[in-house]
Amino acid sequence: MRTRVGVHVSLEQYLRLKHEIKEGRDVSQEMTKAVFLDRDGVLNELVYYKDGHVGSPITARQLVVYPRAAESINKIHSAGYEAIVISNQPGVAKKQFSNAELLRMNGKIKRALSKEGAFLDGEYYCLHHPRALIKKYRVDCDCRKPKPGLILRAAKERDLDLAKSFFVGDALTDVQAGKAAGCKTVLIGQMTDLLNRMMEKHNAVPDFMIGSLAEIGEIL
């Protein structure tokens, strides 16, 4: 890490240093491993819309961070993993919300985490959608899950050992992306006969299944 006197240290950098000092861990020796986290349905609740569908929040006001999200991220760090968000956010492309609103949503999550000393080591968002209303986002990209592009980019930028890393999500596309990147996969949800058949059909059987992110400590 480059440090210069008088350089502003971000809240994330400060919390990371504080955490490493507290843990007394020298992380410079080992190759870094990560727990990649989907955002919606993992760190924050999904929204039940009036038309009956369940989906991602489209305003920061709607977004509710899970009460045990910070505790879970702290557990991830204590177990020696980075915590990195990997999320499809096609809402801007579909004109459901602005870029500023996306930043407000992500800011709300990070503020909630920081209240308990938790932080994200990285955030990677795919803003593309094949049927985007905004032309610059109408791309058949390699970063929209189930494709592993964002995970691979994060691994390259942060020198991560993917085989020792986990991908945690609440959708089969998360499992598919995690598998394609060579990570161990964790699906959040309840097993049902239908889900079991869907997993097998889509070649998306996760390595682990948990009820919520709060159980992640049992796996790491």
- Write the interaction track for Mg ion spanning residues 146-185; mark x where CB under 5 A is met and - where it is not: ------------------------x---------------
Q: Pick the catalytic residue: 26, 38, 121, 159?
A: 38
Q: Does 82 bind Mg ion (CB under 5 A)?
A: no
CA atoms within 13 A on the CB side of 122: 21
* Cβ proximity to Zn ion, 74 vs 88, nearer residue: 88
Q: Residue 113's closest CA among 37, 173, 49? A: 37
Question: From Mg ion, Zn ion, none, which one binds at residue 141 (CB under 5 to 8 Å depending on kind)?
Answer: Zn ion
* Cβ proximity to Zn ion, 99 vs 196, nearer residue: 99
Question: From Zn ion, Mg ion, none, which one binds at residue 145 (CB under 5 to 8 Å depending on kind)?
Answer: none
Phi/psi-derived region of residue 100, left when phi > 0, alpha when psi is between -120 and 50, beta in every other case: alpha
The DSSP code sequence of 129-190 is -TT-SSGGG----SSSTTS-HHHHHHHHHHTB-GGG-EEEESSHHHHHHHHHTT-EEEEES-
Q: Does 38 bind Mg ion (CB under 5 A)?
A: yes
* Cβ proximity to Mg ion, 15 vs 181, nearer residue: 181
Is 40 in the active site? yes
Kindly list the catalytic residues: 38, 40
